[in-house]
């Protein structure tokens, strides 16, 4: 009996053990299953975007010409041509963004809409703040004078819009132009400044191959005063007139505009002259223009005052549309429903060179440094052939001093692929006396391959150069030495092409003070 009871008890114990094991296994399975459903899946490869990390881009659809930003109550107000119907055409309007530091931007929506009347869509122009209420819309009213192809035979004429809500929205002053077209086909892009020495408004107007000068007391009635004619620069656009103080203390006037110098072997960017302005006409110091950029993609450029400085003459800021009408629609960003990139904002100074010679130098705005929290430094790297850095990146500033005794070319291969076949080359040609940016070895917007290597004069006799290079997902901007020469070019490298290689050809080069500042995204 006892054995029988023990036998039954053994079965009972065994059953309990089996049931317990089953519960443990089942519970473990359930726990494992539970945590499998809750655990974070393996990190997926980040989806690539062509939206720039630290450049201003269109929020959607299309942007082109910048309008000169104005500063009011601690904020820069920036307007630009925007087409929310792109790529289906239908004209532009003025979209508005604001910034405290000229790096981070807040979208404020459309400020001047298109097709509110028969005058059509607003094109380029300029906005000023009427501090003394000369136009009668109130102190500190925002006044814009804008080109519109009016109902008057589709002639380009100038219309006035005004804002009394600190630039958020504009109303048309009249359906009639404040400046009727006097006859030329091209009569557009009015740019207005306040001439504080003569107490009047001064306007420059793009009129084909010349710039017209006008004056006004109230922004509504304009009087012609003179013109400035050019040769071999195509149809001029987006004129720019301003006064600056050079580094030797001399005050000069600068006249700039977007021009196409391709016929004369010159850039298709921002041409300028330094000279004098007597309130009526501009007299240049030299016959030939200088160029603010030698790349293919710095067009519709504007300059503007530093709003925070009491003295406005020592420096200015500048930016431009990074594109080219030769291939403006050829961009992979359209897969993300936008087409439009601006250059970084530059700080511009006027510098003295030789007897009565002056030029503009430009450098990236210092506020960009606030985006950099990680950097790499190399004190000296000797290169005879090529050396590849271990780091990889697609949004950064690269700076270096390069020196040599005898060589043909030296510089950097940027956005380089792992197999070294794809890259953008930036450097100098000692044998050719030029600096260059060559995008022919990577994807770029010009399918005709006419615009693949931008070059600019360089004095190779000094056997050294300082390069500052800004790299973003779809752009390369290069500043040579003090920034008298700059190159701005669009590129569309493959997502994983992030290598950096130093190269020299035909001799040895020494790269010193190499600094790479990695930039965070502003988006």
The residues annotated with a catalytic role in the active site are: 65
Beta strand ranges found along 220-357 (DSSP E): 223-229, 237-245, 251-258, 270-277, 282-284, 290-291, 299-305, 316-321, 338-339, 346-352
| Strand stretches in 51-124, DSSP E | 61-72, 75-83, 93-99, 106-112
Sheet bearing 141-149, strands edge to edge: 125-130, 141-149, 156-163, 171-172
Specify the long-range contacts of residues 332-335, CB closer than 8 Å, at least 24 apart. 332/50, 332/443, 332/492, 333/50, 333/51, 333/57, 333/474, 334/87, 335/50
Q: Which residues contact 383 (CB under 8 A, 6 or more apart)?
A: 410, 502, 503, 504, 508, 509, 510, 511
Strand partners, 426: 412, 437
| CA 65 from centre of chain | 11
Count of Cβ atoms closer than 10 Å to residue 182 Cβ: 11
Task: Show the DSSP H helices in 242-292 as ranges.
Answer: none
Look at residues 417, 424, 350, 410 and name the one whose alpha carbon lies nearest to residue 382. Answer: 410
On whether the CB atoms of residues 388 and 488 are closer than 8 A, the answer is no
What is the three-class DSSP state of 441? coil
Pick from 299, 344, 294: which is nearest to 325 by CA?
299
Residues 256, 346: contact at Cβ < 8 Å?
Answer: no
Q: At residue 219, what are phi and psi to the nearest 5 degrees?
A: 70, 0
């Amino acid at each position: 009996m006892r054995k029988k009871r023990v036998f039954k008890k053994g079965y009972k114990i065994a059953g309990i053990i089996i049931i317990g094991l089953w519960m443990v296994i089942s519970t473990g399975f359930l726990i494992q299953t539970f945590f499998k459903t809750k655990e974070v899946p393996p990190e997926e490869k980040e989806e690539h975007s062509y939206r720039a990390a630290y450049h201003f881009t269109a929020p959607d659809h299309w942007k082109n010409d910048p309008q000169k930003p104005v500063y009011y109550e601690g904020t820069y107000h920036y307007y630009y041509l925007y087409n929310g119907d792109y790529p289906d055409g239908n004209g532009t309007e003025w979209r508005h963004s604001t910034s405290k530091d000229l790096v981070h931007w807040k979208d404020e929506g459309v400020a001047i809409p298109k097709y509110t009347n028969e005058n059509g869509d607003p094109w380029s122009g300029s906005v000023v703040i009427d501090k003394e209420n000369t136009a009668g819309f109130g102190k500190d009213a925002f006044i814009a004078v804008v080109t519109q192809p009016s109902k008057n035979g589709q002639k380009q004429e100038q219309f006035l819009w005004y804002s009394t809500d600190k630039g958020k929205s504009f109303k048309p002053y009249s359906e009639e132009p404040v400046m009727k077209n006097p006859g030329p086909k091209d009569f557009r892009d009015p740019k207005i400044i306040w001439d504080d020495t003569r107490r009047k408004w001064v306007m420059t107007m793009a009129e084909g191959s010349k710039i017209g000068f006008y004056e006004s007391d109230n922004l509504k009635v304009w009087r012609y005063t003179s013109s400035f004619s050019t040769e071999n620069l195509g149809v001029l656009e987006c004129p720019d007139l301003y006064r600056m103080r050079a580094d030797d203390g001399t005050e000069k006037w600068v006249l700039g505009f977007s021009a196409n110098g391709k016929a004369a072997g010159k850039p298709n960017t921002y041409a300028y002259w330094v000279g004098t302005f007597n309130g009526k006409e501009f007299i240049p110091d030299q016959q030939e223009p200088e160029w603010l950029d030698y790349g293919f993609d710095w067009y519709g450029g504007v300059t503007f005052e530093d709003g925070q400085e009491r003295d406005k003459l020592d420096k200015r800021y500048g930016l431009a549309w990074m594109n080219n009408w030769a291939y403006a629609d050829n961009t992979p960003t359209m897969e993300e429903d936008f087409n439009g990139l601006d250059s970084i904002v530059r700080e511009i100074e006027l510098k003295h060179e030789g007897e009565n010679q002056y030029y503009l130098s430009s450098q990236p705005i210092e506020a960009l440094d606030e985006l950099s929290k990680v950097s790499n430094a190399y004190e000296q790297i000797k290169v005879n052939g090529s050396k590849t850095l271990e780091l990889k990146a697609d949004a950064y500033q690269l700076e270096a001093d390069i020196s040599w005794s005898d060589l043909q070319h030296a510089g950097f291969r940027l956005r380089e692929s792992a197999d070294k076949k794809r890259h953008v080359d930036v450097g100098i040609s000692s044998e050719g006396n030029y600096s260059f940016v060559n995008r022919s070895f990577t994807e770029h917007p010009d399918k005709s391959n006419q615009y693949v290597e931008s070059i600019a004069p360089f004095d190779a006799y000094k056997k050294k150069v300082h390069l500052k290079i800004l790299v973003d997902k779809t752009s390369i901007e290069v500043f040579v030495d003090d920034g008298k020469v700059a190159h701005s070019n669009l590129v569309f490298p493959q997502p994983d092409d992030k290598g950096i290689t130093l190269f020299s050809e035909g001799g040895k080069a020494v790269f010193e003070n190499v600094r790479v500042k990695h930039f965070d995204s502003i988006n």
